[in-house]
């Protein structure tokens, strides 16, 4: 390991004894995020002077006397511009150990990732973000065109401004948090702290560990910001259709939230996750648990459809419902003083999904920092009605889950446990969390056990106020059967497709096809197998609401004849009653069996 010391800090680079110096320069340029010709590597001699290393293609690292632990000093040429960077930190520094909260490291932000930032993040990063205030008639003593301390713009992280909002904002928006750190004059990149053994130690073999590569103790701090500030469903029918599975079967259900990220007007520099549909993957559902299938055969088709729609998975949702009585009310058993918001097992699952969907951030070491992936729970509220609540696991919790340190406890769902060793037998550092004792004094406790609530960040959930405020991506009136629901019976996809096509003349093809589940069926049905390149072109007209252009396209598309043939040839199948197994000819979400009279 060679240390590269520059005005921006220290970076470590692993090199081989036989590696050529020209290759060393090339790799150092990538690590530092600088053009290869814009800097020189120098070593310090015994007399204190620095000697430049040549850019030789023949001389090796060993031939110039470089060895493990040596330092090279980076001297930038006068013509080279200073790389810009923004500072960050997750929480106040811990005492007696490294905090899991991100620390500021001196490194070129994003040097290990070439994935571009989300366009929304780029847009928010360019904004001023300050809150403009009007002239205060009581405090301001100047004319309308002037300004003073009482009407000067506020920074987006101003605590009094956040507390004055309705409702008050507990967590800073991520980009407001970046502005706050930048204002504190730090320089460097966001660091994702790891609880793993440091790689590349040459003091022992790969199975050993020493003080040089042993991970530092971790002190958890409650996170003061969040990546997503609001979760919004485009229409109540999205949640209602998802909950219908529980209403019919009494079993819990899991789904993925399909949508996009947008600006949240409720707070400066805020971000909201907008949900347009819910995709339900293959799963085994029971009254008190759900088991996701390890492989989803239609995952490539889902990714392709999301790409065509310009959407992505923004989170996941699950039900935890128990009926209170026959009136339709449900029990309220989460979020009270004696219960929990998320169990340890649910929080760990949320952390695993957040790790799988990282937030691309060019200001972070490695190009990734945290996650925008949201967890939504549908359970009973204080009025015994079904209500959604939303959370994220903090970056600290993500690190513990990623490094396989956090596990659930056996008898207390609200408590997690930090391992002393990982699954593969590797050493795990001690984990502490800050808390307040019975005397009000701040103290550190060993995270064995660890309250799950310490790692949770909540956010408000709601629906679009009206259609004019936010037009739905898909038509709420469309009711094509949701995928992977064969266990509860219901109308077949073929008969639903026929019913939908029969309404084209009255509603228009663009309106009929504006259904996420129907589009997914066109891609995944083995008989239809609608070509993705043709579906992409069709979706251009569907999403713009141009029925005439959509009909003109399908009339020239031979695969559309296959769609109609499948719909009208198999439509007689109807639906099978899950109670008496009678094959009914009609259909619909509120249909009843012709024999037993029970609901579909």
CATH number, domain of 271, equals: 3.40.140.10
Q: Are strands 456-459 and 386-393 parallel, antiparallel or unpaired?
A: antiparallel
User: Does residue 474 fall inside a structural domain?
Assistant: no
User: Does residue 422 fall inside a structural domain?
Assistant: no
312 is written with which tokens? 């992505």
Query: pLDDT tens across 435-449, in order?
Result: 777 788 888 899 999
User: Does residue 530 fall inside a structural domain?
Assistant: yes
Query: pLDDT tens across 70-126, in order?
Result: 888 888 765 433 333 322 332 333 323 333 334 333 333 334 456 788 899 999 998
CATH number, domain of 54, equals: 3.10.20.90
pLDDT of residue 231: 97
Contacts of 162 (CB under 8 A, 6+ apart): 168, 169, 172, 267
245 and 388 within one domain: yes
User: How far is C-alpha 454 from the chain's CA centre?
Assistant: 19
Highest-scoring range by mean pLDDT, 3-7, 167-171, 396-400:
396-400
Contact 405, 466 (CB under 8 A): no
Query: pLDDT tens across 349-365, in order?
Result: 999 999 999 999 988 88
508 and 375 within one domain: no
389 and 243 within one domain: yes
372 and 492 within one domain: no
401 and 267 within one domain: yes
474 is written with which tokens? 């898909």
Number of neighbours of residue 265 by Cβ within 10 angstroms:
9
pLDDT, mean of residues 575-591: 69
257 and 396 within one domain: yes
**Cα–Cα distance for residue pair 507/514, rounded to 1 Å:** 11
65 is written with which tokens? 């006397």
pLDDT of residue 517: 96
Contact 414, 344 (CB under 8 A): yes
Q: Are strands 490-491 and 575-576 parallel, antiparallel or unpaired?
A: antiparallel
Contacts of 385 (CB under 8 A, 6+ apart): 329, 330
User: Does residue 244 fall inside a structural domain?
Assistant: yes
pLDDT of residue 17: 83
Domain boundary among 45, 76, 107: 76
Query: pLDDT tens across 367-411, in order?
Result: 899 999 999 999 998 888 999 999 999 999 999 999 999 999 988
462 is written with which tokens? 């709601």
498 and 398 within one domain: no
User: Does residue 210 fall inside a structural domain?
Assistant: no
**Cα–Cα distance for residue pair 337/450, rounded to 1 Å:** 17
Contact 522, 535 (CB under 8 A): yes
522 and 379 within one domain: no
pLDDT of residue 48: 61
Query: pLDDT tens across 271-316, in order?
Result: 999 999 999 999 999 999 999 999 999 999 999 999 999 999 999 9
507 and 386 within one domain: no
Q: Report the SS3 class of residue 543.
A: helix
- pLDDT above 70 for 45: no
266 and 399 within one domain: yes
Q: Are strands 98-99 and 50-52 parallel, antiparallel or unpaired?
A: unpaired
- pLDDT above 60 for 469: no
What ranges in 440-574 are assigned the alpha helix state H? 493-501, 504-507, 509-512, 516-524, 532-543, 547-555, 558-569
User: Does residue 418 fall inside a structural domain?
Assistant: no
* pLDDT above 90 coverage of the chain, percent: 41
- Considering only CA atoms, which of 220, 176, 191 is closest in space to residue 103? 191
| Domain around 335 | 226-407+456-463
pLDDT of residue 104: 36
Query: pLDDT tens across 139-149, in order?
Result: 888 888 788 88
Domain boundary among 463, 498, 528: 463
What angle in degrees, to the nearest 10, is found between the helix axes of 299-309 and 532-543? 40
383 and 497 within one domain: no
User: Does residue 540 fall inside a structural domain?
Assistant: yes
What is the domain count for the chain?
3
Contacts of 416 (CB under 8 A, 6+ apart): 344, 347, 348, 406, 407, 408, 409, 447, 449, 450, 451, 452, 455
User: Does residue 111 fall inside a structural domain?
Assistant: no
pLDDT of residue 416: 94
Q: Are strands 450-451 and 431-436 parallel, antiparallel or unpaired?
A: unpaired
Order of all β-strands in the sheet with 490-491: 490-491, 575-576, 583-584
Domain boundary among 76, 102, 128: 76
402 and 253 within one domain: yes
pLDDT of residue 544: 87
């Amino acid at each position: 390991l060679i240390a590269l010391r520059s005005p921006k800090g220290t970076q470590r680079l692993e090199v081989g004894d036989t590696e050529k110096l020209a290759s060393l320069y090339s790799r150092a340029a990538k690590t530092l995020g600088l053009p290869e010709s814009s800097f020189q590597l120098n070593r310090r001699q015994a007399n204190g002077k620095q000697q430049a290393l040549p850019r030789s293609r023949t001389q090796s690292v060993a031939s110039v006397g470089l060895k493990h632990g040596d330092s090279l000093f980076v001297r930038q040429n006068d013509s080279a511009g200073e790389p810009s960077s923004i500072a960050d930190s997750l929480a106040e520094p811990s005492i007696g150990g490294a905090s899991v909260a991100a620390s500021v490291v001196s490194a070129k932000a994003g040097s290990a990732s070439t994935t571009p930032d989300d366009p929304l993040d780029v847009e928010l990063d360019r904004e001023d973000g300050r809150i403009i205030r009007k002239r205060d008639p009581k405090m301001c003593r100047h004319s309308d065109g002037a300004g003073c301390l009482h009407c000067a713009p506020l920074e987006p992280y101003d605590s009094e401004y956040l507390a004055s909002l309705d409702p008050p904002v507990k967590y800073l928006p991520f980009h407001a948090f970046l502005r706050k750190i930048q204002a504190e004059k730090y320089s460097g990149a966001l660091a994702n702290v790891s609880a793993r053994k440091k790689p590349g130690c040459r003091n022992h073999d790969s199975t050993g560990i020493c003080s040089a590569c042993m991970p530092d103790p971790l002190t958890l701090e409650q996170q003061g910001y969040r990546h997503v500030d609001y979760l919004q469903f485009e229409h109540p029918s999205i949640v209602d259709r998802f909950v219908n599975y529980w209403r019919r079967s009494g079993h819990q259900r899991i789904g993925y939230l399909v949508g996009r990220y947008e600006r949240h007007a409720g707070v400066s520099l805020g971000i909201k996750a907008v949900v347009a549909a819910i995709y339900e993957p293959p799963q085994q559902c029971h009254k008190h648990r759900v088991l996701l299938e390890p492989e989803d055969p239609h995952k490539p088709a889902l990714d392709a459809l999301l790409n065509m729609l310009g959407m992505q998975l923004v989170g996941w949702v699950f039900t935890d419902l128990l009926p209170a009585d026959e009136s339709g009310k449900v029990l309220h058993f989460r979020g009270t003083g004696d219960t929990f918001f998320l169990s340890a097992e649910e929080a760990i699952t949320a952390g695993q999904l957040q790790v799988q969907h990282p937030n691309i951030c060019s200001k972070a070491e490695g190009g990734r920092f945290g996650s925008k992936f949201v967890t939504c729970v549908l359970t009973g509220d204080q009025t015994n009605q079904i209500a959604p609540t939303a959370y994220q696991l903090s970056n600290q919790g993500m690190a513990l889950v990623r490094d396989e340190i956090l596990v659930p406890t056996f008898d207390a769902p609200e408590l997690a446990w930090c391992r002393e060793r990982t699954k593969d037998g590797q050493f795990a550092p001690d984990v502490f969390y800050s808390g307040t004792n019975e005397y009000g004094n701040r103290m550190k406790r060993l995270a064995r056990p660890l309250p799950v609530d310490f790692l949770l960040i909540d956010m408000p959930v709601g629906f679009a106020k009206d259609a004019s405020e936010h037009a739905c991506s898909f038509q709420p009136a469309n009711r094509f059967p949701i995928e992977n629901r064969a266990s509860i019976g219901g109308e077949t996809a073929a008969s639903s497709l026929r019913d939908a096509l029969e309404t084209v003349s009255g509603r228009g093809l663009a309106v009929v096809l504006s259904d996420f589940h129907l589009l997914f069926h066109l891609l995944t049905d083995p008989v239809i197998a609608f070509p993705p390149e043709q579906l992409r072109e069709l979706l251009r007209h569907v999403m713009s609401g141009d029925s005439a252009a959509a009909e003109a396209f399908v009339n020239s598309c031979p695969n559309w004849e296959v769609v109609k043939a499948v719909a009208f040839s198999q439509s007689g199948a109807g639906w099978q009653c899950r109670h008496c197994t009678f094959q009914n000819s009609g259909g619909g979400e509120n249909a009843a069996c012709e024999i037993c009279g029970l609901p579909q």
